[in-house]
Amino acid sequence: MLKKFFAGIDVGTSYIKSVLIDEKKEIAASFIERTGSDLQKSINNAFAGLIASSNISRNDIKHITSTGFGRRNVSFANSVITEISAHAKGAFHYFPKKITIIDIGGQDTKIIKIDSKGKILGFKMNRKCAAGTGSFLEEIAYKLNIPLYEMNKLASKSDKETSLSSFCTVFASTEILTRIKEGEKVEDMVRSAFESVVKRVIELGTIEDTVVLTGGVIKYNDIILEILAKTIDKEILTPLYPQLNGAVGAALFALEAKD
């Protein structure tokens, strides 16, 4: 009997994440593409990359579900769901209990609360500015002329807790540069940027129950997890592939649809 596969495509503002799962809900392949100025081209590239990395035929994919801000631009999707539903579905798949999901994305941060059956109880999103998101860290890295992937390593060298007086991305980066010129260590200021992200998350709403942290920012910056855990005094769980959580959730919806 031929295996059947189901795809989830999460079209984010910074990256497009695509995932392929089989009937056992196991990830068969995944692919991540930067979201370019030509959104349709980026979506097509992401799906082509997923097919190429999976070593299967397009005909073996029985259903495709899209999510994310650009979900309605996936012309070949069979169904569409909101990113809140996708992230809730993905996190509950790995942690089937009452949880609070914190997803730190490139352009927004989400807090989603779900009950012990996976039902969404409520959510909050930060879309007003870049503070508390991946783009905030990208801007800081750019201003400091540091590769983004080096930020976590630098922050891990800091043994000083400091804070920024500014939360706006523009003002925060200016403050960091000024304080470095005044003698502050670069690693301490990078850690302060991570602490700023955590503060913005906490300001979104009450964090209770078991906490599940997702998003590409967490995948590559575990110091943020460390700071958040210490701040809220809770153990924090993460899926094996936190950056793919929304796409996994979409793929699970695709499996349930079974065209």
Confidence category of residue 135, pLDDT binned at 50, 70, 90 = confident
Cβ atoms 46, 55 nearer than 8 A? no
Residue 14 pLDDT greater than 70, yes or no: yes
Cα–Cα distance measured from residue 59 to residue 65, given in angstroms and rounded to the nearest whole number: 15
Residue 41 pLDDT greater than 60, yes or no: yes
Closest CA to 156 of 194, 191, 196: 191
Structure-model confidence comparison of residues 96 and 139, the more confident one = 96
Cα–Cα distance measured from residue 111 to residue 97, given in angstroms and rounded to the nearest whole number: 16
Tokens of 33: 């593409």
Domains assigned to the chain = 5-88+244-257 (3.30.420.40), 97-238 (3.30.420.40)
Tokens of 136: 């905030």
Confidence category of residue 1, pLDDT binned at 50, 70, 90 = low
H or E, element range at 30: strand 27-34
Question: What pLDDT digit, counting tens, does each position of 198-254 carry?
Answer: 888 888 878 888 999 999 899 889 999 999 999 999 889 999 999 999 999 999 999
Question: What pLDDT digit, counting tens, does each position of 181-212 carry?
Answer: 999 899 998 898 898 888 888 888 788 889 99
Cα–Cα distance measured from residue 51 to residue 65, given in angstroms and rounded to the nearest whole number: 15
Structure-model confidence comparison of residues 156 and 129, the more confident one = 156
Closest CA to 84 of 63, 68, 73, 72: 68
Closest CA to 76 of 107, 53, 105, 51: 51
Q: Determine the pLDDT at residue 22.
A: 95
Instruction: Tell me which DSSP letter residue 100 carries.
Output: E
β-strand pairing of 109-114 with 99-104: antiparallel
Residue 113 pLDDT greater than 90, yes or no: yes
Residue 172 pLDDT greater than 90, yes or no: no
Residue 131 pLDDT greater than 70, yes or no: no
- pLDDT (average), residues 59-86: 96
Average pLDDT, the chain: 91
Q: Whole-angstrom distance between the N-terminal and C-terminal Cα of the chain? A: 18
- pLDDT (average), residues 143-159: 91
Q: Determine the pLDDT at residue 155.
A: 93
Phi, psi (rounded to 5 degrees) for 123: -155, 160
Q: Determine the pLDDT at residue 161.
A: 77
A 10 A CB-CB count for 190 gives: 26
Q: In one letter, which amino acid is 144?
A: L
Tokens of 174: 């200016």
Share of the chain above pLDDT 70, in %: 95
Share of the chain above pLDDT 90, in %: 63
Q: Determine the pLDDT at residue 129.
A: 62
Which residues is 213 bridged to in the sheet?
102
Cα–Cα distance measured from residue 9 to residue 47, given in angstroms and rounded to the nearest whole number: 8
Closest CA to 98 of 110, 81, 114: 114
Cβ atoms 67, 81 nearer than 8 A? yes
Cα–Cα distance measured from residue 20 to residue 11, given in angstroms and rounded to the nearest whole number: 15
Phi, psi (rounded to 5 degrees) for 127: -120, 0
